A = this chain, B = another copy of it.
């Protein structure tokens, strides 16, 4: 019930996932049965696919305040879905809904992994090479301490290695200059801890531009800095695409030019397409939770289901707990 076009995107995405992904994918759509059942029936057109509906009487909207919605909506689709993960009746939970509410509900329902003080939301960013980079935390925590950032680095490492398939992910500390001593008190205190960590390919401080130029695979920062950076990037991207569209409209008049430019523009958009990555994993909770964009279409939902399945298969969480276990 989360996306801007719910439940249309979710239903079409589930159908696409069952048709195109590996055969063991089964999808449970969580929400009001009275809404979902007829919509699913229409969309299936008689086809038989492993999609079932799990009833939840309420849902959290984008406008709901996260903390309040989590408390007051006891039978929300998020809560019901995440309880299925906790009880082992689902391998993973995916939502394209309210990010704050999803994080708060997941933390409450699933709890944290052993050794993790604070779960973190990781976003996947496109880069020059096509191999995406990971930035965390982008919203779950403010006022982190150095130990939190070390845990973020370990979680990002495990996700990059096991889900993104990067054998020795380069871990960077997001700061304001590359020299070891650059940064604020948090990054200066975190730097030696990351440097001392065994089994981690820590490359030192990185800057905002390095998120896009393939210098780093996983960049860690506190959730305030990461969220400001992410929203600034999204704002710039929107400005960019709006101005580009206006410029194409006002200057490209001949049919040939318009056609060719449209093709270039759509190729360009595809290479930047968020929906390829399927959403942001919430790392450090006891289970799998992926948060997609509110604007997710069927393809984005399908990719979210794919990523959720890969995350669940990859045993990322066992790896995080093993890496954070105190050495005897």
Which residues of A approach B to under 8 Å, CB–CB? 65, 100, 126-128, 139, 142-143, 174-177, 179, 183-185, 187, 207-213, 221-225, 227-240, 242-244, 246-248, 250-254, 256-261, 263-265, 267-268, 271-272
Contact B229 A243 (CB under 8 A): no
Contact, CB under 8 Å: B235 / A210: yes
B-chain residues with CB within 8 Å of residue A263 when the two chains form the complex: 251-252
B230, B244, B251, B252: the one contacting A208 at CB < 8 Å is B230
Query: A209–B234 contact, CB under 8 A?
Result: yes
Q: Please, which residue of chain B has its CB at the minimum distance from the CB of A210?
A: B235
Given contacts A208-B232, A212-B236, A252-B264, 4 further A-B contacts (CB under 8 A): A221-B228, A240-B240, A240-B272, A252-B261
Query: What is the minimal beta-carbon distance from A115 to any residue of chain B, in angstroms?
Result: 24
B183 lies within 8 A of A142 (CB): yes
Evaluate contact between A264 and B267: CB separation under 8 angstroms: no
- In angstroms, how far is the closest chain B Cβ from the Cβ of A168? 23
B240 adjacent to A176 (CB under 8 Å): no
Number of copies: 2
Contact B208 A235 (CB under 8 A): yes
B-side contacts of A127, CB under 8 Å:
239
Q: How far is the CA of A208 from the CA of B231 in the complex (A)?
A: 5
- With beta carbons under 8 angstroms apart, the residue of B221, B233, B246, B259 that contacts A233 is B233
Whether A247 contacts B271 by the Cβ 8 Å rule is yes
The answer to whether B232 touches A251, judged by C-beta atoms less than 8 angstroms apart, is no
- The 8 closest A-B CB pairs, nearest first, are A208-B231, A257-B260, A208-B232, A209-B235, A247-B268, A142-B184, A212-B235, A212-B239
Nearest chain B CB to A98's CB is how many angstroms away? Answer: 12
Given contacts A242-B128, A254-B260, contact A176 B235 (CB under 8 A): no
Q: A236-B233, A257-B260 are in contact. Are A224 and B176 (CB under 8 A)?
A: yes
- Complex Cα distance, B212 from A242, in Å, reads 11
- The answer to whether A211 and B232 touch across the interface, beta carbons within 8 angstroms, is yes
* Distance A264 CA – B287 CA, assembled complex (angstroms): 48
Check A238–B257 contact: CB distance below 8 A. no
Interface centre among A233, A254, A259, A265, by most chain B C-beta atoms within 10 angstroms, is A233
CA–CA, A222 to B222, complex, Å?
14
Q: In the complex, which of the residues A183, A257, A265 has the most CB atoms of chain B within 10 Å of its own CB atom?
A: A257
